[in-house]
Amino acid sequence: MNRLSRFIRAGALVALFALAGCGAPPATQAKSPIKHHVVAPEKQPSSVSSANLAGTPTYVGGKGGVYYQNMVVVLTWHAIAQTGVYDTISVSAFQAQMAALATDGFHPISAAQFSAFVLHKEAVPQNAVLLTFDNGVESVYTLGWPILQHYRFPSVMFPVLGRTNVLGGYFTSAQITALAKSGLVTIGSHTYAQHIGVAVGPHQAAPADVMPSYSGGTIESTSQFQASIANDAKLAQAAIVKWTGAPEPFFSDPFGQYTPTLIAALAKAGFIEDFTTLGWAVVPGAPADRLPRINVGTGSSTASSMVGAILEVARLTAADPTWHPPLSHVIVWHT
Protein backbone atom coordinates (compact mmCIF):
# COMPACT_ATOMS: atom_id res chain seq x y z
CA MET A 1 0.00 0.00 0.00
CA ASN A 2 1.51 3.36 -0.98
CA ARG A 3 1.67 6.44 1.27
CA LEU A 4 -1.35 8.12 -0.27
CA SER A 5 -3.47 5.01 0.14
CA ARG A 6 -2.41 4.72 3.76
CA PHE A 7 -3.20 8.37 4.45
CA ILE A 8 -6.60 8.10 2.77
CA ARG A 9 -7.37 4.99 4.77
CA ALA A 10 -6.36 6.60 8.05
CA GLY A 11 -8.23 9.76 7.09
CA ALA A 12 -11.36 7.78 6.33
CA LEU A 13 -11.11 6.12 9.71
CA VAL A 14 -10.76 9.45 11.46
CA ALA A 15 -13.64 10.85 9.41
CA LEU A 16 -15.87 8.39 11.24
CA PHE A 17 -15.16 10.47 14.34
CA ALA A 18 -15.23 13.96 12.72
CA LEU A 19 -16.33 16.71 15.07
CA ALA A 20 -18.16 19.95 14.46
CA GLY A 21 -15.72 22.82 14.26
CA CYS A 22 -12.76 20.60 13.42
CA GLY A 23 -13.63 18.88 10.19
CA ALA A 24 -15.59 20.61 7.46
CA PRO A 25 -16.14 19.03 4.02
CA PRO A 26 -13.10 19.76 1.84
CA ALA A 27 -13.57 21.98 -1.18
CA THR A 28 -10.10 23.05 -2.21
CA GLN A 29 -6.77 22.49 -0.51
CA ALA A 30 -4.01 25.03 -0.94
CA LYS A 31 -0.36 24.01 -1.07
CA SER A 32 2.23 26.44 0.22
CA PRO A 33 5.74 26.85 -1.23
CA ILE A 34 6.89 28.49 1.99
CA LYS A 35 9.65 26.62 3.79
CA HIS A 36 8.65 24.68 6.91
CA HIS A 37 9.28 26.66 10.10
CA VAL A 38 11.53 24.41 12.20
CA VAL A 39 10.99 24.62 15.94
CA ALA A 40 12.24 21.32 17.36
CA PRO A 41 15.89 21.11 18.43
CA GLU A 42 18.00 18.76 16.33
CA LYS A 43 20.35 17.53 19.05
CA GLN A 44 19.57 15.52 22.13
CA PRO A 45 20.26 17.15 25.50
CA SER A 46 23.40 15.77 27.10
CA SER A 47 21.42 14.60 30.14
CA VAL A 48 19.51 12.03 28.07
CA SER A 49 21.36 8.74 27.66
CA SER A 50 20.93 6.58 24.57
CA ALA A 51 19.17 4.01 26.76
CA ASN A 52 16.38 6.51 27.37
CA LEU A 53 15.80 7.36 23.73
CA ALA A 54 12.87 6.04 21.72
CA GLY A 55 13.57 3.44 19.07
CA THR A 56 11.85 2.62 15.81
CA PRO A 57 8.04 2.80 15.84
CA THR A 58 6.69 -0.74 15.72
CA TYR A 59 3.30 -2.41 15.76
CA VAL A 60 3.24 -5.61 17.80
CA GLY A 61 -0.49 -6.33 17.70
CA GLY A 62 -1.11 -7.32 21.32
CA LYS A 63 1.54 -9.96 21.95
CA GLY A 64 2.43 -9.90 25.62
CA GLY A 65 0.02 -7.01 26.15
CA VAL A 66 1.97 -4.77 23.77
CA TYR A 67 0.12 -3.26 20.82
CA TYR A 68 2.73 -0.75 19.67
CA GLN A 69 5.99 0.85 20.78
CA ASN A 70 7.88 4.10 20.22
CA MET A 71 4.88 6.13 19.08
CA VAL A 72 2.06 8.11 20.67
CA VAL A 73 -1.53 8.10 19.47
CA VAL A 74 -3.12 11.46 20.31
CA LEU A 75 -6.86 11.30 21.04
CA THR A 76 -9.35 14.17 20.82
CA TRP A 77 -12.71 15.00 22.40
CA HIS A 78 -14.80 18.17 22.42
CA ALA A 79 -17.90 17.95 24.60
CA ILE A 80 -19.56 15.46 26.95
CA ALA A 81 -23.26 15.17 27.79
CA GLN A 82 -25.73 12.68 29.19
CA THR A 83 -26.70 11.83 25.60
CA GLY A 84 -24.20 11.75 22.79
CA VAL A 85 -24.89 13.58 19.55
CA TYR A 86 -22.68 14.62 16.63
CA ASP A 87 -19.61 16.29 18.21
CA THR A 88 -20.57 15.35 21.78
CA ILE A 89 -19.88 11.99 23.40
CA SER A 90 -22.19 10.60 26.05
CA VAL A 91 -20.78 10.48 29.57
CA SER A 92 -21.38 6.73 29.73
CA ALA A 93 -19.40 6.17 26.53
CA PHE A 94 -16.59 8.40 27.78
CA GLN A 95 -16.51 6.50 31.07
CA ALA A 96 -16.28 3.23 29.14
CA GLN A 97 -13.46 4.63 26.99
CA MET A 98 -11.42 5.62 30.04
CA ALA A 99 -12.05 2.21 31.61
CA ALA A 100 -10.84 0.55 28.41
CA LEU A 101 -7.63 2.60 28.40
CA ALA A 102 -7.04 1.59 32.03
CA THR A 103 -7.76 -2.12 31.64
CA ASP A 104 -6.50 -2.81 28.13
CA GLY A 105 -2.90 -1.80 28.74
CA PHE A 106 -2.80 1.73 27.32
CA HIS A 107 -0.67 4.39 28.98
CA PRO A 108 -1.94 7.99 28.95
CA ILE A 109 1.17 10.17 29.17
CA SER A 110 1.63 13.70 30.46
CA ALA A 111 2.24 16.80 28.36
CA ALA A 112 5.82 16.89 29.64
CA GLN A 113 6.43 13.29 28.55
CA PHE A 114 4.95 14.04 25.16
CA SER A 115 7.15 17.11 24.67
CA ALA A 116 10.27 15.15 25.60
CA PHE A 117 9.28 12.45 23.11
CA VAL A 118 8.64 14.87 20.25
CA LEU A 119 11.38 17.41 20.86
CA HIS A 120 14.12 15.17 22.25
CA LYS A 121 13.10 11.65 21.17
CA GLU A 122 12.91 10.46 24.77
CA ALA A 123 11.27 7.09 25.30
CA VAL A 124 7.59 6.70 26.20
CA PRO A 125 5.75 3.68 27.59
CA GLN A 126 4.39 1.05 25.23
CA ASN A 127 0.82 1.69 24.03
CA ALA A 128 1.21 5.41 24.79
CA VAL A 129 -1.68 7.81 24.22
CA LEU A 130 -2.12 11.53 24.83
CA LEU A 131 -5.60 12.74 25.78
CA THR A 132 -6.65 16.15 24.43
CA PHE A 133 -9.85 18.20 24.68
CA ASP A 134 -10.69 21.12 22.37
CA ASN A 135 -12.81 24.26 22.87
CA GLY A 136 -12.95 24.40 26.68
CA VAL A 137 -16.59 23.34 26.89
CA GLU A 138 -17.78 23.37 30.49
CA SER A 139 -19.17 19.83 30.27
CA VAL A 140 -15.61 18.55 30.00
CA TYR A 141 -15.01 20.07 33.43
CA THR A 142 -18.28 19.03 35.05
CA LEU A 143 -18.66 15.55 33.54
CA GLY A 144 -15.31 14.51 32.10
CA TRP A 145 -12.88 15.87 34.67
CA PRO A 146 -14.16 13.73 37.58
CA ILE A 147 -13.63 10.62 35.44
CA LEU A 148 -10.11 11.69 34.47
CA GLN A 149 -9.36 12.34 38.15
CA HIS A 150 -10.64 8.88 39.10
CA TYR A 151 -8.16 7.23 36.74
CA ARG A 152 -5.44 9.83 37.39
CA PHE A 153 -5.13 10.32 33.63
CA PRO A 154 -3.17 13.40 32.49
CA SER A 155 -4.45 15.46 29.58
CA VAL A 156 -4.05 18.66 27.57
CA MET A 157 -7.07 20.96 27.29
CA PHE A 158 -7.37 23.64 24.62
CA PRO A 159 -9.98 26.29 25.51
CA VAL A 160 -10.87 29.13 23.18
CA LEU A 161 -9.47 31.50 25.75
CA GLY A 162 -11.40 34.61 24.74
CA ARG A 163 -14.65 32.86 25.62
CA THR A 164 -13.55 32.42 29.24
CA ASN A 165 -15.74 34.35 31.68
CA VAL A 166 -17.58 35.80 28.67
CA LEU A 167 -19.73 33.05 27.14
CA GLY A 168 -21.79 30.60 29.12
CA GLY A 169 -21.07 26.91 28.61
CA TYR A 170 -17.29 27.35 28.52
CA PHE A 171 -14.55 27.14 31.13
CA THR A 172 -14.33 29.93 33.65
CA SER A 173 -10.94 31.28 34.65
CA ALA A 174 -11.41 29.66 38.08
CA GLN A 175 -11.94 26.28 36.40
CA ILE A 176 -8.85 26.74 34.22
CA THR A 177 -6.79 27.59 37.29
CA ALA A 178 -8.13 24.57 39.19
CA LEU A 179 -7.35 22.25 36.28
CA ALA A 180 -3.82 23.58 35.95
CA LYS A 181 -3.18 23.32 39.70
CA SER A 182 -4.31 19.69 39.74
CA GLY A 183 -1.04 18.56 38.21
CA LEU A 184 -2.96 16.39 35.75
CA VAL A 185 -4.08 19.00 33.20
CA THR A 186 -1.97 21.20 30.95
CA ILE A 187 -3.76 24.18 29.42
CA GLY A 188 -3.07 25.01 25.79
CA SER A 189 -4.73 27.35 23.31
CA HIS A 190 -7.43 26.86 20.71
CA THR A 191 -6.88 30.54 19.83
CA TYR A 192 -8.01 33.53 21.86
CA ALA A 193 -10.85 34.57 19.55
CA GLN A 194 -10.10 33.17 16.09
CA HIS A 195 -11.84 29.82 16.25
CA ILE A 196 -14.35 31.07 13.70
CA GLY A 197 -14.92 30.87 9.98
CA VAL A 198 -14.67 34.09 7.97
CA ALA A 199 -15.46 35.05 4.39
CA VAL A 200 -12.31 34.83 2.25
CA GLY A 201 -13.96 35.54 -1.10
CA PRO A 202 -17.37 35.63 -2.76
CA HIS A 203 -19.27 32.59 -1.42
CA GLN A 204 -16.10 31.22 0.19
CA ALA A 205 -15.07 30.83 3.82
CA ALA A 206 -12.10 29.51 5.81
CA PRO A 207 -10.75 29.61 9.37
CA ALA A 208 -9.92 33.14 10.51
CA ASP A 209 -6.28 32.33 11.23
CA VAL A 210 -5.30 30.76 7.90
CA MET A 211 -6.51 33.22 5.24
CA PRO A 212 -7.12 37.01 5.03
CA SER A 213 -10.78 37.95 5.39
CA TYR A 214 -12.96 39.33 2.60
CA SER A 215 -15.55 42.06 2.99
CA GLY A 216 -17.31 44.35 0.53
CA GLY A 217 -15.19 43.20 -2.37
CA THR A 218 -11.92 43.86 -0.53
CA ILE A 219 -9.46 41.33 0.86
CA GLU A 220 -7.67 42.09 4.10
CA SER A 221 -4.05 43.13 3.53
CA THR A 222 -1.25 40.70 4.29
CA SER A 223 0.11 42.98 7.00
CA GLN A 224 -3.29 43.31 8.67
CA PHE A 225 -3.84 39.57 8.55
CA GLN A 226 -0.42 38.76 9.99
CA ALA A 227 -0.86 41.33 12.74
CA SER A 228 -4.25 39.82 13.60
CA ILE A 229 -3.00 36.26 14.06
CA ALA A 230 0.10 37.46 15.92
CA ASN A 231 -2.02 39.50 18.32
CA ASP A 232 -4.42 36.62 18.90
CA ALA A 233 -1.52 34.30 19.77
CA LYS A 234 -0.10 36.86 22.21
CA LEU A 235 -3.48 37.33 23.89
CA ALA A 236 -3.90 33.57 24.23
CA GLN A 237 -0.49 33.08 25.80
CA ALA A 238 -1.06 36.02 28.15
CA ALA A 239 -4.34 34.47 29.29
CA ILE A 240 -2.63 31.14 29.96
CA VAL A 241 0.05 32.86 32.03
CA LYS A 242 -2.58 34.85 33.94
CA TRP A 243 -4.71 31.84 34.84
CA THR A 244 -2.08 29.10 35.22
CA GLY A 245 1.06 31.01 36.19
CA ALA A 246 3.27 29.95 33.29
CA PRO A 247 3.32 29.94 29.48
CA GLU A 248 2.63 26.72 27.60
CA PRO A 249 3.78 25.51 24.15
CA PHE A 250 0.58 23.70 23.10
CA PHE A 251 -1.84 24.92 20.43
CA SER A 252 -4.75 23.20 18.68
CA ASP A 253 -5.37 24.35 15.11
CA PRO A 254 -8.99 25.49 14.62
CA PHE A 255 -10.73 23.17 12.17
CA GLY A 256 -7.42 21.30 12.00
CA GLN A 257 -6.02 23.79 9.50
CA TYR A 258 -2.70 25.63 9.47
CA THR A 259 -0.17 27.44 7.29
CA PRO A 260 3.53 28.28 7.68
CA THR A 261 2.47 31.89 8.35
CA LEU A 262 0.31 30.78 11.27
CA ILE A 263 3.00 28.41 12.55
CA ALA A 264 5.57 31.23 12.58
CA ALA A 265 3.21 33.58 14.45
CA LEU A 266 2.44 30.91 17.02
CA ALA A 267 6.13 30.16 17.57
CA LYS A 268 6.84 33.82 18.32
CA ALA A 269 4.21 33.66 21.07
CA GLY A 270 5.72 30.46 22.47
CA PHE A 271 3.36 27.92 20.91
CA ILE A 272 5.72 25.41 19.31
CA GLU A 273 3.70 22.19 19.61
CA ASP A 274 0.67 22.51 17.35
CA PHE A 275 -1.97 19.84 16.81
CA THR A 276 -4.04 19.28 13.70
CA THR A 277 -6.80 16.75 13.03
CA LEU A 278 -5.04 14.70 10.37
CA GLY A 279 -5.09 11.09 11.53
CA TRP A 280 -1.77 9.38 12.22
CA ALA A 281 0.35 8.53 15.23
CA VAL A 282 3.18 10.76 16.47
CA VAL A 283 6.67 9.28 16.08
CA PRO A 284 9.93 10.32 17.81
CA GLY A 285 11.15 13.67 16.56
CA ALA A 286 8.01 14.33 14.50
CA PRO A 287 7.51 17.92 13.26
CA ALA A 288 6.25 19.58 16.43
CA ASP A 289 4.23 22.23 14.60
CA ARG A 290 1.89 19.82 12.80
CA LEU A 291 1.09 16.95 15.11
CA PRO A 292 -1.61 14.46 14.05
CA ARG A 293 -4.52 13.32 16.20
CA ILE A 294 -7.54 11.06 15.91
CA ASN A 295 -11.02 12.08 16.97
CA VAL A 296 -12.81 9.61 19.24
CA GLY A 297 -15.47 11.81 20.81
CA THR A 298 -18.62 11.86 18.71
CA GLY A 299 -22.13 10.81 19.58
CA SER A 300 -21.51 7.38 18.05
CA SER A 301 -18.09 6.80 19.63
CA THR A 302 -17.67 3.79 21.88
CA ALA A 303 -14.85 2.16 23.81
CA SER A 304 -14.44 -0.51 21.13
CA SER A 305 -14.42 1.99 18.26
CA MET A 306 -11.79 4.06 20.11
CA VAL A 307 -9.54 1.05 20.68
CA GLY A 308 -10.01 -0.04 17.07
CA ALA A 309 -9.07 3.43 15.83
CA ILE A 310 -5.97 3.55 18.03
CA LEU A 311 -4.73 0.18 16.82
CA GLU A 312 -5.44 0.87 13.15
CA VAL A 313 -3.62 4.20 13.20
CA ALA A 314 -0.69 2.64 15.09
CA ARG A 315 -0.49 -0.17 12.53
CA LEU A 316 -0.55 2.24 9.59
CA THR A 317 2.03 4.51 11.19
CA ALA A 318 4.41 1.63 11.89
CA ALA A 319 4.15 0.66 8.21
CA ASP A 320 5.23 4.16 7.16
CA PRO A 321 6.77 6.08 10.10
CA THR A 322 8.33 8.70 7.81
CA TRP A 323 4.99 10.20 6.77
CA HIS A 324 4.12 13.54 8.37
CA PRO A 325 1.25 16.00 7.81
CA PRO A 326 1.86 18.40 4.90
CA LEU A 327 3.57 21.75 5.41
CA SER A 328 0.24 23.51 4.92
CA HIS A 329 -3.34 22.30 5.29
CA VAL A 330 -6.04 24.75 4.20
CA ILE A 331 -9.59 24.00 3.14
CA VAL A 332 -11.86 26.60 1.56
CA TRP A 333 -15.56 26.04 2.22
CA HIS A 334 -18.08 27.06 -0.42
CA THR A 335 -20.99 28.97 1.08
Task: Chunk the chain into consecutive blocks of 10 residues (it has 335) and report each block's average pLDDT, rounded to whole numbers.
Answer: 36 36 37 28 44 91 93 98 95 98 97 97 97 98 98 98 97 98 98 97 97 96 98 98 98 97 98 96 97 97 97 97 96 95
Q: In sequence order, which ranges of 161-281 are alpha helices (DSSP H)?
A: 173-181, 222-244, 260-268
Round to whole Å and give the CA distance between 104 and 127: 10
Assigned architecture for domain 3-23+76-334: Alpha-Beta Barrel (3.20)
Round to whole Å and give the CA distance between 179 and 176: 5
- For residues 186 and 110, is the Cβ–Cβ distance under 8 A? yes
- Residues 6 or more apart from 276 whose CB is under 8 A from it? 253, 256, 257, 258, 290, 291, 292, 293, 325, 329
Q: In the prediction, which pLDDT does 63 show?
A: 86
290: DSSP letter: S
pTM here is 0.87
- Residues 6 or more apart from 104 whose CB is under 8 A from it? 307
- Residues 6 or more apart from 4 whose CB is under 8 A from it? none
- For residues 330 and 206, is the Cβ–Cβ distance under 8 A? yes
Q: In the prediction, which pLDDT does 7 show?
A: 35
